[in-house]
């Protein structure tokens, strides 16, 4: 499998609120808002961006992470493969220190993308299941970071490598495989921890529908998610925060 086609992302880019980059629903759901709060909290606990830093938001979508980064650093380059996503991101993130570009492929030859202090890639690698494209993306990350620079990824990963006969939503990368791929490129893993279970394992299908439709308050959604994660101890399928530093 390869990355999701650009036509898909162009189509969902116009969805309201955070739906374009979370659950692709025609209305913004409670789950979309909760996931973004959770993701930003995880990123904030992992990164310590400084006013002089240059960061890359790789796969920026409509700019939900760029909006958090821009006031904290000197420069953010926001890249995405979808021109429609970039158009939305420009409208939602009109910061003077943000440059938006459409990404045609791993920009390995771009001399401006070197000696970066940090790269964030949130819900990006999980969509790149083609082995060659995945390897090229990680090669780019390793080359673009300065020594000591930090890579912060957050992806939905399986505890074990999924089998071919697994349901489509479980055909994601195993955690060990992703961590090993980073280490082999000189990206030393500092943290790797689940921050949320996926909606597919939140509980019963009926409960999931209530959450997705916003019938449960945000606090109730968070309580259910955390309770389910603790019950499972190590969820099979989870959003996993990975922080790595270039040697």
Sequence ranges of the domains in the chain: 6-198+236-246
Please tell me whether residue 22 adopts helix, strand or coil conformation: coil
Check residues 236 and 54 and name the one with the higher pLDDT: 54
Strands 54-58 and 116-122: parallel
Tokens read off for 32: 């979309």
Ordered strands of the 145-158 beta sheet: 98-102, 75-80, 54-58, 116-122, 145-158, 237-246, 187-197
pLDDT at 200 over 60: no
pLDDT at 33 over 60: yes
pLDDT at site 209: 65
Per-residue pLDDT tens over the stretch 126-138: 988 888 989 999 9
pLDDT at site 228: 64
Check residues 210 and 236 and name the one with the higher pLDDT: 236
b/e string for 86-102 if b means 16 or more Cβ within 10 A? bbbbeeebeeeebebee
**Beta strand segments in the chain, E:** 54-58, 75-80, 98-102, 116-122, 145-158, 187-197, 237-246
pTM for the full model? 0.85
Per-residue pLDDT tens over the stretch 132-158: 989 999 999 999 999 999 999 999 898
Q: What is the mean pLDDT of residues 186-204?
A: 75
Lowest mean pLDDT of 27-31, 93-97, 125-129, 176-180, name the range: 27-31
pLDDT at 1 over 50: no
**Residue 16 CA: distances (Å) to CA of 6, 13, 23, 44, 247:** 19, 8, 11, 25, 40
CA angle 140, 141, 147 (to 5 degrees): 115
pLDDT at site 236: 77
pLDDT level of residue 77 (50, 70, 90 thresholds): very high
* CATH architecture, domain defined by 6-198+236-246: 3-Layer(aba) Sandwich (3.40)
Q: What's the chain's average pLDDT? A: 83
């Amino acid at each position: 499998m390869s990355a999701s086609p650009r036509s898909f992302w162009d189509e969902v880019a116009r969805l309201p609120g955070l739906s374009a980059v979370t659950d692709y629903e025609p209305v913004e759901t409670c789950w979309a808002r909760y996931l973004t709060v959770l993701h930003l909290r995880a990123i904030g606990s992992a990164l310590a961006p400084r006013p002089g830093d240059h960061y890359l938001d790789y796969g920026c979508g409509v700019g939900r992470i760029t909006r958090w980064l821009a006031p904290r650093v000197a420069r953010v380059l926001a890249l995405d493969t979808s021109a429609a996503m970039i158009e939305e991101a420009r409208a939602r993130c009109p910061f003077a220190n943000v440059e938006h570009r459409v990404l045609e492929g791993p920009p390995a030859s771009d001399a401006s993308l070197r000696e970066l202090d940090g790269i964030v890639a949130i819900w990006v690698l999980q969509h790149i299941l083609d082995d060659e494209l995945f390897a090229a993306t990680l090669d780019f990350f390793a080359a673009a970071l300065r020594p000591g620079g930090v890579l912060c990824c957050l992806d939905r990963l399986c505890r074990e490598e999924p089998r071919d006969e697994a349901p489509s939503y479980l055909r994601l990368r195993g955690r060990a495989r992703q961590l090993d791929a980073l280490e082999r490129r000189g990206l030393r893993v500092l943290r790797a921890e689940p921050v949320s279970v996926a909606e597919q394992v939140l509980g019963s299908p009926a409960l999931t529908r209530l959450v997705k439709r916003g019938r449960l308050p945000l606090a109730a959604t968070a309580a259910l998610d955390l309770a389910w994660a603790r019950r499972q101890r190590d969820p099979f399928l989870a959003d996993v925060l990975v922080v790595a530093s270039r040697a």
